[in-house]
Amino acid sequence: MKEIEPDVSRCADRFAAMGAEPRLRIMRLLLSAHPTGMVAGDIGSQLGIPPSTLSHHLDKLRNEDLVGVRREGTFLRYTANTETLRELLQFLYAECCGRNRPLKAEEILKVKS
């Protein structure tokens, strides 16, 4: 059996974390609120996700470093981790167009932080 590259395994775990429809919706919402992010209650209200379910989804995303969290008094503010998302896109584009004309990942993706 061929050994899986660490980058491939890590990326697969991150894509799997985003693979559930509610988590993908959360990521899109947090990206729309970038860079300030959103408090958990507002995420749940906007997406119609109950608090206990939302907590589960946010934990899954946080465990894969797809979102960051910081405490603001009694609230938790979540932000999309654009650096991790950039790494995922660079992973996907690493071999892009290599047979025709090699392109650097930086030429393909330009994410503002």
- Per-residue pLDDT at 30: 98
Residue 67 is part of which domain span?
6-108
pLDDT in tens, 21-65: 999 999 999 999 999 999 999 999 999 999 999 999 999 999 999
pTM confidence score: 0.81
**Domain assignment present for 53:** yes
Dihedral angle of Cα 110, 44, 79, 70, to the nearest 10 degrees: 180
**Domain assignment present for 65:** yes
**Domain assignment present for 1:** no
Burial status of residue 26 (CB atoms within 10 A of its CB: 0-12, 13-18, 19 or more):
buried
**Domain assignment present for 32:** yes
**Domain assignment present for 19:** yes
**Domain assignment present for 84:** yes
pLDDT in tens, 62-111: 999 999 999 999 999 999 999 999 999 888 877 666 666 555 656 655 55
Give the CATH number of the domain where residue 22 resides.
Answer: 1.10.10.10
